[in-house]
Amino acid sequence: MKRRTWLSWLWFSVGMIYFFLPLFATFLFSLRGKKGVLSFVAYQNVFKDPTFLKTFGFSLEMALLTVLVGLILIVPTAIWIQLKVPKAKALFDVLTLMPFAVPPIILAFGLIRTYSRPPLALVSTPAILVAAYVVISFPYIYRSVDSGLRSMDLRGLSEAAQSLGAGWGSLLFRVVLPNLRTALLSATFLTLAIVIGELTLAVLLAWPAFGPYMALMGRNRAYEPAALAIMSFGLTWGAIGLIQLLTRSAKDKGSGIGAGGH
Amino acid sequence: MAARIERSVGKDMPGISLPPAPDARRRLADGPGPRVVAPGRKLSWAWLGLLPFLLFALLFMILPASSIVIGSFQNEAGSFTLDNLANLFKPSILDSYLVTMKVSATTALLGGILGLLIAYAISIGGLPKSLKTFMSTFSGVASNFAGVPLAFAFIATLGRMGFLTVLLRTLFGFELYNTGFNLYSFWGLTLTYTYFQIPLMILIIEPALEGMKKEWREASESLGASSLQYWTRVGIPVLLPSILAALILLFGNAFGAYATAYALTGGLINIVPILIGAQIRGNVLHDPQLGYALAFGMVIVMTVSILFYSWLQKISSRWVK
């Protein structure tokens, strides 16, 4: 195998070039805001633009609501299924993965058709945007929560807790959720990373979100879009990097998670 | 959409399972069992706990999706018609489906092959382990780096004033845009999509490569097989279902992508998601009935892909766990 290592290096390098050349080019481009010198003028312009803060704030708010609603819908349901109705697992699996078969563009179309006339004229409320975001984040939230639940002995933990007199409330908040901490944080960061820059649903449901703002900047400005791209990349990198860090430190602790059940 | 599916998706896609038959339930009720498993008749009450989630999924996912299927069989007055579907076979619409499939297939192949080679390099190709950790983390980021920022990055790289365009001109006197290349058409879109397809492929296929047993290679080597023979007779046949499944996933991923194309071309490229978007926004060619049919066509393509994917996953799970 050793003699083939140079081939591995080759493919690795090809990948690195494909990944980093556009990032490098974008960064360089973003520094050219002032003629003749490299500067951070483009970044300053972005931060000076009140629309930037407004749209970013709006998207952040939508993203946080999405996380909240998504977790409230999925976490108790996943726990309930594991403890009480294991038969429903298959149905739950299919439903949480369905958003992969229904791309955002289709979802937007369907929502507009279903909710644009009475009795349910919801299209003009931000609730519909949050609902759509919750749907597209189903797979991510569910996958994190499911792997979190699988790595702990939920049944053993809940039997132990209940035999010690814990009710459903303390079982959920004092036993299960603390053990799911890593999974919940992963789900949160992933959802934030996806929702904040989302374009399709925001544009088609006509909300002044961060994604449409970026697209508009792309049409009217030259260097600011590059600065925005670098900033979004940094944001995604931060979110995903944090998840990796969290899951790795959870793994390093080994049986730390769910060990209470044994 | 993007990074997302990985191997756990659709490991199997079982149908809806129903509660056990009444007599089975009664038997359960009589037997001893741990307290958390609700015995007896309570089992049916326990299903009520799923109601909030089911209701939400019904209202905001299943109803909207089915409204598209229904709408594509209705005319503007609401009565049954097949005209919308017949319109899908108009040359201009057929053409946009062909372009979309071409873009999706090319990016799936390009991203799939490069992703596979990189995944090979970092998993069993003998590179230091730190590179593997780095590449996996980076893939998680890059596969989510789609949409508007990605379009900007490629404009800065391969646009008319882009870094690479200028570099090729000054270093080699090579005019990229004289070759017929245009970032806002087929190859531009394809190269841009490939940016999130490669890391997605790495994320999906790396576990399959890791799952290849060392014993297989040792056994074939001790039987005198060359490296080429090992790959053609053992490695590739074992991996093939996983690779095909991953390629289908990449195909679907590109087929439904709207944001990147919208930001890159300003909605000027003739692919299906952009056409659907134009119907919704009431731009040129505004014809809601055609919009339904277009969306319906996409739902069919996605559904077939997912079914095919889960079938392949089932086959590959025999080998690679």
Question: CB B148 to CB A197 under 8 A?
Answer: yes
B40 and A CB contact within 8 Å: no
Nearest to A97, CA basis, from B248, B132, B307, B183: B307
Nearest to B64 among A15, A111, A228 (CB): A111
DSSP codes joined into one string, chain A: -GGGHHHHHHHHHHHHHHHHHHHHHHHHHHGGGSTTS--SHHHHHHHH-HHHHHHHHHHHHHHHHHHHHHHHHHHHHHHHHHHT-GGGHHHHHHHHHGGGTS-HHHHHHHHHHHHSSTT---TTSHHHHHHHHHHHHHHHHHHHHHHHHHTS-HHHHHHHHHHTT--HHHIIIIIIHHHTHHHHHHHHHHHHHHHHT--HHHHHTT---HHHHHHHHHHH-SSHHHHHHHHHHHHHHHHHHHHHHHHHHHHHTGGGTTGGG-
Tell me whether residues A85 and B194 touch, CB distance under 8 A: no
Q: Which residues of A touch B47 (CB under 8 A)?
A: 85, 88
- For A212, the token pair is 């449409």
Domains of chain A, CATH where assigned:
40-261 (1.10.3720.10)
Q: Is B57 in Cβ contact with A95 (below 8 Å)?
A: yes
Residue numbers in A near B4 (CB within 8 A): 100, 139-140
Asked if B144 and B3 count as a contact pair (C-beta separation under 8 A), the reply is yes
* pLDDT (0 to 100) of residue B320: 56
- Say what the pLDDT of residue B12 is: 36
- Chain A residues in contact with B195 by the CB 8 A cut-off are 18-19, 22
The reported pLDDT for the residue numbered A101 is 83
CB-CB under 8 Å, B295 with A109: yes
**Rounded to whole angstroms, how far apart are CA atoms B254 and B248?**
10
Domains and CATH numbers, chain B: 22-33+35-49+51-56 (no CATH), 87-316 (1.10.3720.10)
Contact B17 A108 (CB under 8 A): no
Contacts of B3 (CB under 8 A, 6+ apart): B139, B140, B143, B144, B196, B199, B200, B203
Predicted pLDDT at A242? 81
Mutating which of B62, B152, B249 best tests the A interface, going by the most A Cβ atoms within 10 A?
B152
pLDDT values of chain B reduced to their tens digit, one per residue, 321 residues: 444 443 333 333 333 333 444 444 444 444 444 445 444 455 577 888 899 999 999 999 999 999 888 888 888 777 888 888 888 888 888 999 999 999 999 999 999 999 999 999 998 888 888 898 889 888 888 888 888 999 999 999 999 889 999 999 999 988 888 888 888 889 999 999 999 999 999 998 988 888 887 888 888 888 888 888 888 888 888 888 889 999 999 999 999 999 999 999 888 888 999 989 888 877 555 676 778 888 889 988 998 998 888 888 888 777 655
B261 interfaces chain A, CB cutoff of 8 Å? no
B146 token code pair: 């789609």
pLDDT score of B286 = 62
Report ipTM (2 d.p.): 0.86
Tokens 């590959």 belong to residue: B316
Q: Tokens for A116?
A: 């644009």
Tell me the mean pLDDT per 10 residues along chain A, length 262. 76 94 94 85 92 94 96 93 88 88 91 81 86 94 89 86 85 87 89 91 92 91 91 87 76 40 32
Closest CB from A91, A110, A214 relative to B67: A110
Partner-chain contact B259 A199, CB within 8 Å: yes
Q: Which of residues 153-192 of B touch A (CB under 8 A)?
A: 153-157, 162-164
Q: What is the pTM of this model?
A: 0.83
The per-residue pLDDT for B154 is: 94
What does the pLDDT look like over A102-132, one tens digit per residue?
899 999 999 988 888 776 677 778 999 999 9
Residues of chain A with pLDDT > 90, as a percent, come to 46
Asked if A218's CB is within 8 angstroms of B148's CB, the reply is yes
Distance, CA of B207 to chain centre: 17
